[in-house]
């Protein structure tokens, strides 16, 4: 006859069994085997809209963007993201002609107030290199939908080092003092400048756009080395995050797979860590190579082996925390 198990032995066995189950569960989660990606809410931190009857976007005359050289308004975004579980979205400025920046900001902040779309915040365009930047920002003081500012730093008329000029640095510090963030959109070999800027402005929160803009087809080893060093320097700063976005437009449109994106994205995700990366759609620019769902699906394929916790943070939680979206 088997000897009865006393309470002390029972508790020991229960604890051991619990630890074994917890370890097994943790391993399964780490392997990503039980992650139902369809149920993960999406916060799209990089939604572009442009109504060409209202705004002039000089860059739409550049080579290679003819297919998106027409208006994109909210109804188009809602159609493009149908069935993609987009719970919240943040507008991203579209590099309008400088004289239209105030009009653009007013337009999108008004859209954020409406309850017929998921857009709950906006990153507006601005020129921190200008002495008039502070007054421009003060026009929107107290607007809870204003989340930050971006300047496209890789334009031809914006030279390397511009973001480190004294006027620029002081204005970025001012953003932080007002609870606003700054999106870094830079050339892949200029990322060290971004790191220097973020270090000079510790009270300002930054996010690096598009994994630092290195093409997935890049074959220049020196350029990749500079990009990797830049990513490491930015990730070493606690006030910088990274958007996993944008690089879908650098694939071979006629012959690509999710695995083409993985090296750059994995490097960024592993370097920044699970608490400092976020998904961004970059629609409609992403449609130069893939629809919104195609890009989102490719990223989900790349991260399917990562934990449920990681994926929830990547696709939703980190963005809500960073942009204070409630």
Using one digit for the tens of pLDDT, what is the confidence trace for 111-120?
Answer: 999 999 999 9
User: 263-306 pLDDT, tens per residue?
Assistant: 999 999 999 999 999 999 999 999 999 999 999 999 999 999 99
Bridge-based pairing of strands 119-125 and 146-152 is: parallel
- Whether the per-residue pLDDT at 31 is higher than 70: the answer is no
Domain membership of residue 208 as a residue range:
37-323
- Whether the per-residue pLDDT at 5 is higher than 60: the answer is no
For residues 214 and 152, membership in a common domain is answered with yes
Those residues with Cβ within 8 angstroms of residue 29's Cβ, 6 or more apart along the chain or in another chain: 35, 307, 308, 309
DSSP lists the bridge partners of residue 146 as: 122
CATH number at residue 309: 3.20.20.140
For residues 242 and 318, membership in a common domain is answered with yes
* pLDDT-based confidence at residue 155 (cuts at 50, 70, 90): confident
For residues 8 and 87, membership in a common domain is answered with no
Q: Which two tokens stand for residue 266?
A: 């994995």
For residues 27 and 170, membership in a common domain is answered with no
- Whether the per-residue pLDDT at 91 is higher than 50: the answer is yes
Those residues with Cβ within 8 angstroms of residue 282's Cβ, 6 or more apart along the chain or in another chain: 46, 48, 92, 210, 245, 246, 248, 249, 295
- Whether the per-residue pLDDT at 29 is higher than 50: the answer is no
pLDDT computed for residue 28 by the predictor: 41
Whole-number mean pLDDT of the chain?
Answer: 91
**How confident is the model over 26-48, as a mean pLDDT?**
77
Q: What is the DSSP code string of 134-158?
A: HHHHHTTTT-TTEEEEEEETTSTTS
- Whether the per-residue pLDDT at 11 is higher than 70: the answer is no
pLDDT computed for residue 271 by the predictor: 98
- Whether the per-residue pLDDT at 224 is higher than 90: the answer is yes
Among 13-22, 91-100, 158-167, name the one with the lowest average pLDDT.
13-22
Backbone angles phi, psi at 53, to 5 degrees: -80, -20
Those residues with Cβ within 8 angstroms of residue 136's Cβ, 6 or more apart along the chain or in another chain: 101, 102, 126, 127, 130
- Whether the per-residue pLDDT at 80 is higher than 90: the answer is yes
Residue of 106, 145, 144, 151 lying closest to 126 (CA atoms): 151
- Whether the per-residue pLDDT at 6 is higher than 80: the answer is no
Which residue did the predictor score with more confidence, 288 or 23?
288
User: 225-277 pLDDT, tens per residue?
Assistant: 999 999 999 999 999 999 999 999 999 999 999 999 999 999 999 999 999 99
For residues 106 and 203, membership in a common domain is answered with yes
For residues 122 and 218, membership in a common domain is answered with yes
For residues 63 and 95, membership in a common domain is answered with yes
For residues 10 and 48, membership in a common domain is answered with no
- Whether the per-residue pLDDT at 134 is higher than 70: the answer is yes
* pLDDT-based confidence at residue 32 (cuts at 50, 70, 90): very low
pTM of the model: 0.88
For residues 255 and 145, membership in a common domain is answered with yes
For residues 85 and 231, membership in a common domain is answered with yes
**How confident is the model over 145-173, as a mean pLDDT?**
94
pLDDT computed for residue 250 by the predictor: 97
**How confident is the model over 49-75, as a mean pLDDT?**
96
* pLDDT-based confidence at residue 156 (cuts at 50, 70, 90): confident
For residues 85 and 212, membership in a common domain is answered with yes
pLDDT computed for residue 1 by the predictor: 40
* pLDDT-based confidence at residue 33 (cuts at 50, 70, 90): low
The number of distinct structural domains making up the chain is: 2
User: Is the alpha carbon torsion for 218, 307, 118, 91 positive or negative?
Assistant: negative
What is the percent of the chain with per-residue pLDDT over 70, rounded to a whole number?
90
Q: Percent helix, strand and coil across the chain, each rounded to 5?
A: 50, 15, 35
- Whether the per-residue pLDDT at 9 is higher than 90: the answer is no
For residues 19 and 59, membership in a common domain is answered with no
DSSP-derived 3-state class of residue 217? coil
């Amino acid at each position: 006859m088997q000897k009865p198990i006393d309470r002390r032995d029972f508790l020991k066995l229960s604890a051991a069994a619990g630890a074994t189950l917890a370890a097994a569960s943790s391993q399964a989660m780490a392997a990503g085997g039980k992650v139902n990606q369809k149920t993960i809410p999406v916060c799209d931190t990089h939604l572009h809209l442009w109504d060409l009857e209202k705004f002039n976007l000089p860059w739409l005359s550049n080579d290679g963007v003819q297919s998106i050289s027409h208006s994109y308004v909210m109804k188009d975004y809602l159609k493009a993201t149908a069935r993609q579980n987009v719970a919240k979205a943040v507008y991203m400025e579209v590099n309008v002609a400088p004289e239209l920046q105030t009009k653009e900001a007013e337009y999108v902040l008004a859209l954020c107030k409406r309850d017929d779309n998921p857009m709950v915040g906006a990153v507006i365009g601005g020129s921190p290199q200008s002495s008039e930047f502070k007054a421009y920002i003060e026009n929107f003081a107290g607007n809870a939908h204003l989340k930050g500012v971006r300047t496209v730093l890789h334009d031809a008329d914006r030279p390397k080092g511009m973001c480190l000029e004294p006027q620029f640095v002081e204005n970025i510090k001012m953003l932080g003092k007002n609870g606003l963030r700054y999106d870094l959109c830079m050339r892949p070999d200029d990322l060290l400048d971004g790191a220097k800027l973020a270090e000079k402005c510790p009270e300002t929160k930054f996010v690096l756009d598009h994994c630092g803009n290195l093409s997935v087809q890049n074959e220049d080893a020196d350029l990749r080395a500079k990009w990797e060093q830049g990513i490491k320097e930015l990730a070493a700063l606690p006030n910088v995050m990274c958007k996993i976005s944008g690089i879908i437009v650098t694939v071979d449109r006629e012959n690509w797979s999710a695995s083409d994106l993985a090296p750059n994205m994995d490097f960024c995700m592993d370097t920044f860590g699970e608490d400092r990366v976020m998904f961004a759609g970059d629609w409609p620019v992403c449609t130069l190579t893939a629809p919104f769902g195609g890009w989102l699906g490719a990223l989900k394929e790349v991260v399917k082996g990562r934990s449920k916790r990681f994926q929830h943070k990547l696709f939703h939680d980190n963005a809500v925390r960073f942009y204070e979206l409630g």
